[in-house]
Amino acid sequence: MLSRHYALSQDGSSLSLAQATKTVPDLAPNSILIKIRAASLNYRDLLTMGDAGGTRDGLTPLSDAAGEVIAIGSSVTRWKIGDRVSPNFFPAWLGGAFSPVHLSNALGGGQTDGVLCEYLVIDQAAAVAIPDHLSFVEAATLPCAGVTAWHALFERGKLTAGETVLVQGTGGVALFGLQLAAAQGARVIVTSSSDAKLERAAALGAWKTINYKNQPDWDQAAMALTGGHGVDHILELGGPDTYDRSIAAIAPGGKIAQIGVLSGFGAQPNLTPLQFKNASINGICVGSVEHYARLNAFIAEHAIHPIVDQVFAFDEAPLAYEQLRGAGHFGKIAITFDR
């Protein structure tokens, strides 16, 4: 059986994206065959596209998808044909402590093929059920950005009602942070370079908003908004450009979730102020199958719908990449496989 897919091919010192076909592997006893119905893009996919040295020639990109089980291996007990499922970002991180061995198996990066293909074979344990109220496109936005925000705020952050949260920008991770925290009864501050996006964030339930272009000292603005106390949880997405301000804005006992590299790798913040606040930094790397399942239970309980900015057809995948690169989006950019 053949599957249409996109391949990242070496093109001199860079990578280019083009459609191709490949043979779908045979089903192992514990594997399931998923007909992909939708996928979504993350900032990470731009990093992969830019990493010609670290990406296998011909790699199928993207980590995030949702689809339908169309065949099962002889030992499969968890799924039946017709089930709506989504693969976890780390297929082998089922639960418990993280192991660095999972890094090389993450879908759609390095050496491991991803989900921008019509048919995907994965182990039955690597999939989670899609909440009933979500479309395939909505569900396809969850595996990386949704699980990361959940892991940061709930699994490690232990977020409770009444606490304050700050998210940086209005991309995928940030808006999941906003939606999940607001549903928990937290007060969420959103920063953005765009007043129009901040208006949309306020309509989604943001408690306060700060334009970080007009107000580069957004840490001081956050301190003022919290009556000088500081913010209890910060999703640190910016990297070098934002880290010192995140540390300045964190509350005593607060938690910074180290997640993003939007302004580059290798932030070198001054960590000394953390000790005088008894505050901490949690390194976050997406999440496990257990995290994903608990995220989905919360999303179902609170009837949350992910914010999808734009949906492209399979044949338009290169345009979806361009849209993400332009950073004009609010929430997620998705690809539908339905004609």
Q: Contact positions toward ligand NAP, by CB under 6 A? A: 42-44, 144-145, 148, 168-174, 191-194, 197, 212, 237-238, 241-242, 259-263, 284-286, 324, 327
What is the nearest approach in angstroms of ligand NAP to the Cβ of residue 30?
27
Alpha carbon distance 150, 181 (integer Å)? 9
Write down the residue that tokens 């970080």 correspond to.
Answer: 212
Residue nearest to ligand NAP (CB): 171
What is the nearest approach in angstroms of ligand NAP to the Cβ of residue 98?
11
- What's the DSSP call for residue 132? T
Alpha carbon distance 4, 21 (integer Å)? 4
| Secondary structure of residue 103 in the 3-state scheme | helix
* Complex with ligand NAP: residue 67 or 306, whichever CB lies closer: 306
Give the strand order in the sheet containing 231-236.
208-211, 187-192, 164-168, 231-236, 250-258, 280-283
What is the nearest approach in angstroms of ligand NAP to the Cβ of residue 56?
20
* Complex with ligand NAP: residue 204 or 285, whichever CB lies closer: 285
In angstroms, the first-to-last Cα distance of the chain is 20
* Complex with ligand NAP: residue 3 or 192, whichever CB lies closer: 192
* Complex with ligand NAP: residue 32 or 145, whichever CB lies closer: 145
What is the nearest approach in angstroms of ligand NAP to the Cβ of residue 198?
8
Q: Are 107 and 91 in contact (CB under 8 A)?
A: yes
Torsion of CA 71, 76, 82, 88, to 10 degrees: -100
* Complex with ligand NAP: residue 94 or 327, whichever CB lies closer: 327
What is the nearest approach in angstroms of ligand NAP to the Cβ of residue 146?
9
Alpha carbon distance 267, 287 (integer Å)? 22
Alpha carbon distance 18, 236 (integer Å)? 33
Alpha carbon distance 209, 198 (integer Å)? 6
What is the nearest approach in angstroms of ligand NAP to the Cβ of residue 336?
18
Alpha carbon distance 48, 43 (integer Å)? 9
By C-alpha distance, which of 240, 265, 235 is closest to 250?
Answer: 235
The token pair that represents 128 in the structure block: 């989670």
* Complex with ligand NAP: residue 33 or 142, whichever CB lies closer: 142
What is the nearest approach in angstroms of ligand NAP to the Cβ of residue 312?
15
* Complex with ligand NAP: residue 33 or 166, whichever CB lies closer: 166
